[in-house]
Chain A
């Protein structure tokens, strides 16, 4: 082949390669946009379906056979009580575990084991935590299908997430802070209590809120705890039956009357509003806490 022919061939190939590159770049951008487009369509669809049911009865009404009376009162109170009790249990334990792993434990086999174990726990399907709760809390400890059993089950679910997020926040506190405190004769706990935790607090809170919003959106593990019962009352104690927002939505979606599906869409808007509030707080905390060392 002559040089000129080779050059022509090369140029032809170059044209093809450049065309392929253009198509590829466009495909990449399209894939990114597709996710966002999907999100948009989903939100529009839910708003369109749920809008007629955005009325006071949405938050004051109890489950009912009549869609125009039905609402999410017991689910909303259930979500708040379960989330509150769960937070009291899971977050102190999670932060304490993170403090131990970051500040106390000597690196070694035990720490490596704990790390692998926590990572594995974080990846266990949530529905299996439901089986755990059913076997241990509901039947084993005879708590019955109660607010307390639900809260403890979710606490175990978010524990690994809390530990992972808190460790990250604690690790971001510079070593020099600790060294300065130790040099002044502070004990380990004093260093943690007065120096590490205050500086890590915004990061920890952000992680905690994200874990909380994960728990608020969870459906599957609570179905096992019988939270699906028709609950036309507010829980009065931690031993009562309960329902939560995602489960009430699931119940309404499963009913044959299409009006209930619209009510479910309105419930989804309510759930998303709660999550937006939580995540907004997390973002606000993160923005405020951006300390540069």
Chain B
């Protein structure tokens, strides 16, 4: 009599286990990302130690090259750490390679700053427009259309920045002072790509501001702008700040637009008309060539990747924290 029930119970048990295992897989993915990046970047910073080991150097051509061209680093891993974080020449692909990552960091900050300077003001204005001024029918059409922008593959934006925006800016505005690959065009196009993200997230929080607050302000004689800027914006500030941080983190991690349009030359500059290389573009550049497992180039990939991972993680965590700390609670 009880056998079907028992069979059913057994099935329940192993199915529950299976489902739980799938859920736990996401933890394993995080562990794998952190593990791979940490392991390989540790091996990058161990290069000076390996180069000091004659047996290893004899077997490995790239270590031999490293030991010959950078004798100042051999046996001194801390000197490599200091060079990585403080020096301003990044040329790990050349024979007498320098490993100062700051040009890549500055390139990333430059393109991201331009993108955020475009995406945040325009995105906020668009969000105000959709949440405060547009009729429902208009909103229902415009919002999905804006979201199409977010669904277009980044390679398409890269193509557009390289073959349309840069030539246009060269011809009409900057003349030959603007290089064929530059931070400005990449940043501008990236900004437009991030516009719907800022607009959509900000609009959601703006609509959550209670109607009574707006009505109270209007009753006191405030204009539409005053209501939007002095009532709705402050009420939605935590969500807006989170949206901006998220946009910044996306800009920092964005790859194809900057790899195509901003260039692949590490450049210690903040001039937006010059080519710059970002952290992500460097990863692409190295991957395009042949990078044998364990070689010096292979390890720099992961050291740069680790930096990128930590930077975006910090920004995402901050954005979550901002929402929790500064949210206005309406009853």
Question: Which A positions have Cβ atoms within 8 angstroms of B?
Answer: 17-18, 20-21, 24-25, 27-32, 34-36, 38-39, 41-42, 45-46, 49, 92-94, 96-97, 99-101, 104-105, 113-114, 116-121, 123-132, 134-136, 139-140, 156, 159-160, 163, 187-189, 213, 216-220, 223-224, 226, 228, 246, 249-250, 253-254, 261, 264-265, 268, 271-272, 275, 279
Question: Is residue B2 contacting chain A, with contact meaning CB distance below 8 A?
Answer: no
Give the distance in Å from the alpha carbon of A264 to the alpha carbon of B153 in the complex. Answer: 14
Question: Is residue B255 contacting chain A, with contact meaning CB distance below 8 A?
Answer: yes
Using known A-B contacts A123-B246, A125-B312, A261-B163, determine if residue A28 contacts B133 with beta carbons closer than 8 Å: yes
The B40-87 residues at the A interface (CB cut-off 8 A) are: 40
Question: Is residue B25 contacting chain A, with contact meaning CB distance below 8 A?
Answer: yes
Give the distance in Å from the alpha carbon of A265 to the alpha carbon of B29 in the complex. Answer: 35
Chain A: minimal CB distance from B182 (Å): 16
Q: List the B residue with the shortest CB-CB distance to A98.
A: B23
Q: List the A residue with the shortest CB-CB distance to B285.
A: A223
**Which listed segment binds A: B7-15, B95-103, B209-217, B265-273?**
B7-15
**CB-defined contacts of B288 to chain A, threshold 8 Å:** 223, 228
Interchain CB contact under 8 A, B146 and A36 = yes
Give the distance in Å from the alpha carbon of A224 to the alpha carbon of B146 in the complex. Answer: 31
Interchain CB contact under 8 A, A131 and B305 = yes
**CB-defined contacts of B40 to chain A, threshold 8 Å:** 135
Interchain CB contact under 8 A, A219 and B36 = no
Using known A-B contacts A121-B26, A124-B309, determine if residue A96 contacts B287 with beta carbons closer than 8 Å: no
The B133-158 residues at the A interface (CB cut-off 8 A) are: 133-134, 142, 145-146, 148-149, 151-158
Chain B: minimal CB distance from A265 (Å): 7
Interchain CB contact under 8 A, B195 and A132 = no
Interchain CB contact under 8 A, B164 and A159 = no
For the complex of A and B, 10 pairs with smallest distance between CB atoms? A125-B253, A217-B153, A31-B125, A28-B129, A135-B36, A96-B22, A21-B223, A100-B19, A220-B255, A21-B225
Give the distance in Å from the alpha carbon of A113 to the alpha carbon of B304 in the complex. Answer: 27
Interface centre among A101, A127, A228 (most CB of B within 10 A): A127
**CB-defined contacts of B246 to chain A, threshold 8 Å:** 123
Interchain CB contact under 8 A, B146 and A163 = no
Interchain CB contact under 8 A, A188 and B12 = yes
Main secondary structure of the interface of B (DSSP, over half): helix
Interchain CB contact under 8 A, A272 and B223 = no
Question: Which B positions have Cβ atoms within 8 angstroms of A?
Answer: 8-9, 11-12, 15-16, 18-20, 22-27, 29-30, 32-33, 36-37, 39-40, 121-123, 125-126, 128-130, 132-134, 142, 145-146, 148-149, 151-160, 162-164, 192, 195-196, 199, 223-226, 228-229, 246, 249, 252-256, 259-260, 280, 283-284, 287-288, 293, 301-302, 305, 308-309, 312-313, 316-317, 320
**CB-defined contacts of B130 to chain A, threshold 8 Å:** 32
Interchain CB contact under 8 A, B122 and A34 = yes
- 19 A-B residue pairings within 8 Å (CB atoms): A20-B225, A25-B225, A32-B126, A93-B22, A96-B19, A113-B27, A117-B26, A123-B316, A127-B283, A163-B26, A187-B8, A213-B151, A219-B153, A219-B255, A220-B280, A228-B287, A246-B153, A253-B155, A272-B156
Interchain CB contact under 8 A, B154 and A128 = no
Interface centre among B162, B199, B254, B287 (most CB of A within 10 A): B287
Q: List the A residue with the shortest CB-CB distance to B121.
A: A31
Interchain CB contact under 8 A, A159 and B25 = yes
**CB-defined contacts of A217 to chain B, threshold 8 Å:** 151-155
Q: List the B residue with the shortest CB-CB distance to A17.
A: B223
Using known A-B contacts A97-B22, A127-B255, A249-B159, determine if residue A24 contacts B225 with beta carbons closer than 8 Å: yes
**CB-defined contacts of B316 to chain A, threshold 8 Å:** 119-120, 123
**CB-defined contacts of B320 to chain A, threshold 8 Å:** 116, 119
Interchain CB contact under 8 A, B160 and A46 = yes
B126 is contacted by which of A35, A42, A131, A139 (Cβ under 8 Å)?
A35
Interchain CB contact under 8 A, A114 and B23 = yes
Interchain CB contact under 8 A, B29 and A159 = yes
Q: List the A residue with the shortest CB-CB distance to B24.
A: A114
**CB-defined contacts of A136 to chain B, threshold 8 Å:** 32, 36
Interchain CB contact under 8 A, B20 and A114 = no
**CB-defined contacts of A265 to chain B, threshold 8 Å:** 159, 163
Q: List the B residue with the shortest CB-CB distance to A249.
A: B155
B283 is contacted by which of A104, A131, A226 (Cβ under 8 Å)?
A131
Interchain CB contact under 8 A, B162 and A20 = no
Chain B: minimal CB distance from A43 (Å): 9
Give the distance in Å from the alpha carbon of A78 to the alpha carbon of B260 in the complex. Answer: 22
Q: List the A residue with the shortest CB-CB distance to B315.
A: A123
Interchain CB contact under 8 A, A126 and B255 = yes
**CB-defined contacts of A105 to chain B, threshold 8 Å:** 20, 23
**CB-defined contacts of B259 to chain A, threshold 8 Å:** 220
Give the distance in Å from the alpha carbon of A207 to the alpha carbon of B86 in the complex. Answer: 44
Interchain CB contact under 8 A, A127 and B253 = yes
Interchain CB contact under 8 A, A100 and B224 = no
Interchain CB contact under 8 A, B195 and A28 = no
**CB-defined contacts of B154 to chain A, threshold 8 Å:** 217, 219-220
Interface centre among A38, A41, A159 (most CB of B within 10 A): A38
* Other A-B pairs, 13, CB within 8 Å; known A120-B317, A159-B29: A24-B224, A25-B225, A31-B121, A35-B199, A36-B145, A117-B26, A118-B26, A123-B312, A128-B37, A131-B36, A223-B287, A228-B288, A264-B159
Give the distance in Å from the alpha carbon of A216 to the alpha carbon of B131 in the complex. Answer: 32
Q: List the B residue with the shortest CB-CB distance to A24.
A: B225
